[in-house]
Amino acid sequence: MSDRRELATAAEPRLESTASRLRELVAHLRNQRAQLREEWARLITEAKLLTAMTKEEIFAEATSVYDNYVEALETGTYEALQAYARNLSERIIPRGVETHEVVGIVLLLRDVLARSLFATYHEDFNKLNRILDAYEPAANRIAITVAVGFVQERERIIREQQEAIRELSTPVLQVRERLLILPIIGVIDPQRARQLTEQLLRGIRTNRAKVVVLDITGVPYIDSPVANHLVQTVEAARLLGATVIVTGLSPEIAQTLVNIGVDLGKMNTVGDLQGGIEEAERLLGYKVVLIQEPTTEPA
Amino acid sequence: MQVPILKQGAYLIATVQSALTDDDLKQLRDTLVVQVSKVRARAVIVDVTALDVIDSFATRTLRDVAHMIKLRGAETVIVGIQPEVAFSMVKLGLTLEGVATSLDLEEGLAYLNRKGKGPEHHEVRTHR
């Protein structure tokens, strides 16, 4: 019991002195601001970090990072720094700044400041130790905050881009009255297969399509679950009263379809997209007639 | 809930209004099979636009209706299957094989007219 009380009373003055040491530290960093900032910017350039930015830009960013850094040390709150880190990331990510660069500059700043502390307090080893006790946890916390902010921002951008790719990945195009084409390019994963089915069936409904040409020339291979999914999509389209013509099957995909034992009576396949569209036109009763020899000269 | 069956020219049109119990389905099947000859219909259209779910029993009944009506000398078209319903049916292996399907009522009528089931294709001329 008595031990614990002693500990408790011993901790309080320590906390207080941590605060006072931090104050001293912040005052020191404010005094040396111009010189340390210069030193830091020089080290960034030397280490070949932030090569996507000009010297002036680096110096301007270094100034705001420095000020935010000192402020976070002073107040012990990281919200403002977090917001700044996110804002900075938003600006520099599109310019191709990498994670290692951002982590690198924050660590460089930590080193610059630590060295300046060594230089100032090297005569009083105990004082240096106490100052470092106050400085190190705060500095590490700042480094983590900035790095995490950067990575989170990056992940957010990646998520947005994935969303955009997903939206673009299954276009449904009407080429004639009641005729749709779906050109698919790239690997079909289960999620994309689901989306493809959805788009195809919705497209049939909204465009009142009778025939759909599903062109998979740009798909190198598919696995059995996705192949099954494709076959099911073709059957579901039939229930909506539409015919699906699949074109451009690669030898690998043909093999996969045969391996899963697809009922060829249900699958309407044509060699290439052109043949598929011609077949679709035939089903819809169109006849395309050449009315004039094509002219190659510009009009 | 009973399914109303309307006669439109040479066609019988059954429009499902809400979810059907198994008994409703059986009753629909029996009524259609009787009615098709009574009114001398050439085709039957079953509109299932209102159905959010078509289970295995419903699929089997619809297929039976189509096959029985075929034996009675008429054609059947199922119209208005929703996209989501179509895909969940196929996933369960319910594909309504051998039964004609169309997007909606309009398409179903157009399909039957093309197939020559409409009244205009069955004109009888008397020779003088």
Q: Is the distance from CB of A232 to CB of A194 less than 8 angstroms?
A: no
Query: What's the rounded Cα separation, in Å, for the pair A79 and A46?
Result: 31
Give residue for tokens 């998520």. A159
Domain boundaries, chain A: 8-163, 173-284
Domain boundaries, chain B: 5-122
Protein fold of B5-122: Transcription Regulator spoIIAA (3.30.750)
CB contact under 8 A, B101 and A208: no
- For B42-86, write each residue's pLDDT tens digit: 999 999 999 999 999 999 999 999 999 998 889 999 999 999 999
CB contact under 8 A, B101 and A241: yes
Protein fold of A173-284: Transcription Regulator spoIIAA (3.30.750)
Q: What is the pLDDT of residue B28?
A: 92
Contacts of B107 in chain A (CB under 8 A): 208, 241
What mean pLDDT do residues B100-119 have? Answer: 86
pTM of the model: 0.63
Q: Is the distance from CB of B64 to CB of B80 less than 8 angstroms?
A: no
Among the partner-chain residues B83, B95, B111, the one whose CB lies closest to the CB of A240 is: B83
Q: Give the residue ranges of DSSP H helices in chain A.
A: 2-31, 33-46, 55-75, 79-92, 99-121, 125-169, 190-207, 224-239, 251-259, 273-284
* Angle in degrees, CA A18, A21, A26, rounded to 5: 125
Among the partner-chain residues B87, B91, B103, the one whose CB lies closest to the CB of A208 is: B103
| Type of residue numbered B6 | L
Q: Is the distance from CB of A215 to CB of A184 less than 8 angstroms?
A: yes
Q: What is the pLDDT of residue A2?
A: 45
Q: What is the pLDDT of residue A8?
A: 46
Q: What is the pLDDT of residue A89?
A: 84
Q: How far is CA B53 from each of CA B88, B91, B107, rounded to the nearest angstrom?
A: 9, 13, 22
Q: Is the distance from CB of B103 to CB of A253 less than 8 angstroms?
A: no
CA distance B54 to chain A (A): 12
Provide ipTM, 2 decimals: 0.77
CB contact under 8 A, B95 and A238: yes
Pick A8-163's CATH classification: 3.40.50.300, 2.60.40.10, 1.10.490.70, 2.60.40.420: 1.10.490.70
Burial of A69 (0-12, 13-18, 19+ CB in 10 A): buried
Please identify every stretch of chain A with a pLDDT value under 50, giving residue numbers as ranges: 1-11
pLDDT interval class at B104 (50, 70, 90): very high
Q: What is the pLDDT of residue A14?
A: 55
